Amino acid sequence: MVDPISAMAIAGSAFSALKKGVSIGRDKESMGKDLSRWMSAVSDIDRAHHEAKNPPIFKKLFSGKSVEQEAMELFTQKKQLENQRDELRKLISSMCGPQAWQELIQMERDIRKQRKETLYAQREARKHFLEIVAIILFTTLGALFLVGIVWLISNRGSF
């Protein structure tokens, strides 16, 4: 998964390629790659929005963005994607009929389900592993620091 800003750039370029393809009369099969890129980017952005609602502990502590700034970015991205989706729906419906849009929506659901089961599950497991390692590391360092202080205090008179 890419970061939301890169995913928005990918979605924007794929959407532009789709619009251009429709305007020059490319058939829907030749635009499949662009459509797939757009759908993958939208899926990545949706996942990033989901993660922003429940961020990892270290992101909460060390994030450089304010809550307001992050909320505004997410809102803007969401509205841009809604506009792109609506325009894409109109283009596909006019080119292939309204049933084509419903087929596309079903394909999008299938792609998201597959990505969630594989890519996102792996990413989630990796994130949890790194959080556990970081917590163990910080706990160990803290314990060693405390042991060192206790040792120094108990051996103060022997120097």
Per-residue DSSP letters for 120-137? Answer: IHHHHHHHHHHHHHHHHH
pLDDT at residue 139 greater than cutoff 90: yes
Band of residue 62 on the pLDDT scale cut at 50, 70, 90 = low
Rounded CA-CA distance 111/46 in Å is 13
pLDDT in tens, 73-120: 878 888 898 898 898 888 878 877 888 888 878 877 887 788 778 877
pLDDT band, residue 141 (cuts 50/70/90) = very high
Average pLDDT over residues 24-40: 75
- Whether pLDDT at 60 is above 60: no
